[in-house]
């Protein structure tokens, strides 16, 4: 095998441990289930947090957009977004509750475009444009289509039935074009929030000792990651978006997607 082919395979499938801090910022789209059995309003928690560490929660501003796409049709859901206080293990922070009206069969691609968050310790802004996918009656309709965001991760596996022990692959896009060499932070939702109390729960795993879990996309913006445990996994392509400044400071415009992994039964 040639050196170039070896490098390409490593970029596509190898998960690396970065020396940066293990605790990663992630905007959560949390629902108790991704597969919806009955029609109705599905509660969603919008929380800016460190979910694998059960760590510090950050104050969110009112989202710029919150909407869903079902059968190719976009529906604005900002009237369903309400401010709330999330009670984390270390602190309380401004967050939001919302709901998604799931009625007909098919996919519901849920999107949050947040207000940029100022990270004082780094003197930069962070904007994590986040997607997740709900499904009713296992009819696939929208999960494999780009939304058309400034930056997004297009899943290459159905994101609501990834099997533990298999791999999840995604393609990082900016304005619809691949982002070669994108850096993707990966985090497990070790503390799934209690939506009724709007608070943290006890974590089911600890942080990785080697630091943040990181994958590097190949020349087509494609990355893969082996799924070792059931639950929600988040993928954040750092700085993949076209916007690089906000309020006169550096902006990291990130693409985030959450997937739901299950054990083979």
Average pLDDT across each block of 10 residues of the chain; the chain has 265 residues. List them in order.
39 37 77 96 97 92 98 98 96 98 98 97 96 97 98 98 97 98 96 96 86 94 97 97 97 98 92
- Residue 129's closest CA among 140, 119, 117? 117
Predicted TM-score (pTM) above 0.85: yes
Q: Residue 257 is encoded by which pair of tokens?
A: 């997607």
β partners of residue 258? 234
DSSP E strands in 137-262: the ranges are 151-155, 162-163, 167-174, 177-178, 183-188, 213-216, 222-226, 231-237, 245-246, 249-262
Element (H, E) at 194: none
**What confidence score (pLDDT) does residue 53 get?**
87
Containing domain of residue 252, as a range?
A: 3-262
Contact present, 207 and 215 (Cβ < 8 Å): no
Number of folded domains that form the chain: 1
Q: Where are the alpha helices (DSSP H) in 58-112?
A: none
> What is the spatial distance between Cα 132 and Cα 48, in angstroms, rounded to a whole number?
15
**What confidence score (pLDDT) does residue 39 get?**
96
**What confidence score (pLDDT) does residue 208 get?**
77
């Amino acid at each position: 095998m040639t050196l170039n082919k070896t490098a390409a395979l490593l970029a596509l499938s190898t998960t690396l441990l970065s020396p940066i801090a293990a605790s990663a910022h992630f905007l959560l789209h949390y629902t108790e289930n991704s597969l919806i059995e009955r029609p109705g309003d599905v509660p969603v928690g919008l929380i800016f947090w460190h979910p694998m560490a059960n760590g510090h929660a950050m104050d969110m501003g009112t989202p710029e957009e919150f909407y869903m796409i079902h059968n190719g049709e976009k529906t604005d859901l900002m009237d369903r977004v309400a401010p709330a206080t999330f009670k984390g293990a270390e602190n309380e922070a401004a967050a939001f509750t919302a709901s998604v009206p799931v009625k007909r069969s098919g996919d519901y691609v849920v999107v949050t475009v947040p207000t940029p968050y100022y990270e004082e310790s780094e003197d930069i802004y962070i904007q994590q444009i986040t997607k997740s996918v709900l499904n009713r009656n296992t009819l696939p309709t929208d999960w494999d289509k780009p939304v058309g965001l400034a930056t997004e991760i297009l899943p290459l596996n159905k994101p609501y039935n990834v099997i533990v022990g298999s791999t999840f692959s995604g393609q990082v896009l900016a304005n619809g074009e691949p982002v070669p060499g994108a850096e993707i932070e990966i985090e497990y939702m070790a503390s799934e929030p209690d939506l009724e109390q709007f608070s943290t729960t006890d974590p089911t795993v600890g942080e990785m000792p080697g630091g943040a879990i990181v994958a590097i996309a190949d020349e087509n913006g494609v990355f893969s990651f082996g799924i070792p445990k059931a639950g929600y996994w988040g993928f954040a392509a750092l700085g993949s978006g076209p916007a690089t400044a906000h309020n006169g400071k550096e902006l990291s415009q990130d693409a985030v997607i959450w997937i739901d992994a299950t054990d083979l039964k």
